[in-house]
Structure 1
Amino acid sequence: MLYQVTDWDDAYANGIHIPRGDDFPARWEAEASAFRATARRQDLGRGDLFLPEGTAKGLAIFIHGGFWMRTSPATWSHLAAGPLVQGWAVAMPGYTLAPKARISQMTREAAEAISLAAERVPGPLTITGHSAGGHLAARMICDDGTLPNAVAARIRCCLPISPLSDLRPMMRTAMNDTLAIDDTEAATESPALLTPRSGIPITTWVGAAERPEFIRQARLLADIWAGLGAATDCVIEPGLHHFDIIDGLTRPDSPLTRTLLA
């Protein structure tokens, strides 16, 4: 069956294709606020570090989405709950949003925040992120020096959720009026066009009810990086869409949390 995108803005639009999609932002804010009221939290400058009771088993990193233009780590604090119950610290780095920053600057800022958090929490690291944050999660393990070698050597899993792994389609959307991605930035900031560091397993994770482009982008990264020698998998979780695919991180026993911490 032929697949062709004719409306690139609609291809990456989520809320209008999700039942009661407009209700999700308020729910996220409420759940995040309630979580932050009782969490053990440290300031990362841009972002937060949440600490479990006792000595942390390691550090899980979640990078937020919002098409590089919207939201902040505070909106997603509740997603630290699952790893925290499992005894892991959770860092949620922030980054300057477009149009104040280009994506290349966001990559550098996320790497700096992750390096800072890694100094505070010893042990293994795992990295995840959602949508644009999934792009940045994958970007952190590209073999171009984005992360310092000492930090990258501690990473034992990268789990991009609904990742935007190839930025070239974004150039065809109205969002690019704000993002200002050009051919050069697409080539240097698209994980699917770069080489992953060796030895880090990658699992892309996406909902079966997501827009076809997000499923394609998740498969694309896993397939291309498998061809470059990485250990990859692509999980398409039945029944979930772009806004609830991340809910598994709130539960310590969900397949998503277990895969991130395995």
Structure 2
Amino acid sequence: MDYDLAYANADFIPNAMAYPPRWAREAEEWRAARKDRARLGLSYGDGARNALDLFLPDGEARGLVVFVHGGYWLKFARGDWSGFAAGPVKRGWAVAMPSYTLAPGAHIREITGEIAVAVTRAAAEVAGPIALTGHSAGGHLVARMNCADVALPDDLAARIARIVPISPVGDLRPLMRTRMNADLRLDAAEAEAESPTLCTERRGIDTRVWVGAEERPAFLDQADWLTEAWPEARLRIAPGRHHFDVIDALKDADSAVVADLVGRD
């Protein structure tokens, strides 16, 4: 099996290189439109990328959504994704979007720790229930918050109502056989410890795993494996969606993804 090919997304998506510039453009437009209801660059740690943006709804927030971006732990930042806050914000929820130290500047275990601190920092800003979502590598990172070895204050963990990983990588062991591991630096011990699919001591948080029906077989497998491993998880397959457009549903307040995330009125 060619693991580089199995986990290559852009090579199998028409006009794939147009997506990141579109995301960045829409993110800038969203920040400009919501500048009076945004708190940008809130620090959550000492690292250069340890900051988050917080987007507030009109009126009092019903709760907090934390969105963690993907990019194989290797690229992107919070400012590339602001537009994906639209759906939950329209439903009356605040949305926090953290950046984190990218590999090879940090091991994945260290990035996991940063996200735990970022969630804690965001939770101090907004009262009420918390829902976590993330895409691809971000899906891995939010799923890790359900694992008991990740340090979260007990009162904060009790507020997390739902986790919605989108196209997550739940088992990191196959990535050891890819070229990107030169930067990820996974060994067998870390790959196992950082794989949510292999996590047996969990917090039992309600989890809905989303994946696009047109994604690479490896990502369909990853979604299946995580769902099968966690009794608290349910699988959702988005018809006609691939790895880059499955997250578009986050911009639609009426989408099934947003409903899974913030509940149905």
Short-chain TM bin: over 0.9
Structure 2-normalised TM-score? 0.93
- AA partner of residue 234 (structure 2): D
Which residues of structure 1 form unaligned runs of 5+? 1-5
State the percentage of identical aligned residues.
Answer: 51
State the alpha-carbon separation in 2 of the partners of residues 146 and 72 from structure 1: 23
Partner of residue 235, structure 1: 236
Aligned length: 253
Partner of residue 9, structure 2: 14
- AA partner of residue 241 (structure 1): H
1:1-262 matches, within 5 Å, as 6-39=1-34, 40-42=37-39, 43-45=41-43, 46-195=51-200, 197-226=202-231, 231-262=232-263
8 Å Cα contact 1:84-1:90 kept in structure 2: yes
CA deviation after TM superposition for structure 1 residue 56, in Å: 0.2
Structure 1-normalised TM-score? 0.94
State the alpha-carbon separation in 2 of the partners of residues 126 and 70 from structure 1: 24
Which secondary structure state, in structure 1, belongs to the residue aligned with residue 33 of structure 2?
Answer: coil
CA deviation after TM superposition for structure 1 residue 141, in Å: 1.3
Partner of residue 3, structure 1: none
Which residues of structure 2 form unaligned runs of 5+? 44-50
CA deviation after TM superposition for structure 1 residue 28, in Å: 0.6
CA deviation after TM superposition for structure 1 residue 113, in Å: 0.9
Which secondary structure state, in structure 2, belongs to the residue aligned with residue 52 of structure 1?
Answer: coil
Deviation beyond 4 Å, 4+ runs, structure 1 = none
Partner of residue 47, structure 2: none
Partner of residue 46, structure 2: none
Which secondary structure state, in structure 2, belongs to the residue aligned with residue 37 of structure 1?
Answer: helix
State the alpha-carbon separation in 2 of the partners of residues 164 and 197 from structure 1: 17
8 Å Cα contact 1:82-1:250 kept in structure 2: yes
State the alpha-carbon separation in 1 of the partners of residues 146 and 27 from structure 2: 28
CA deviation after TM superposition for structure 1 residue 198, in Å: 3.8
Which secondary structure state, in structure 2, belongs to the residue aligned with residue 257 of structure 1?
Answer: helix
State the alpha-carbon separation in 2 of the partners of residues 94 and 248 from structure 1: 21
CA deviation after TM superposition for structure 1 residue 8, in Å: 0.4
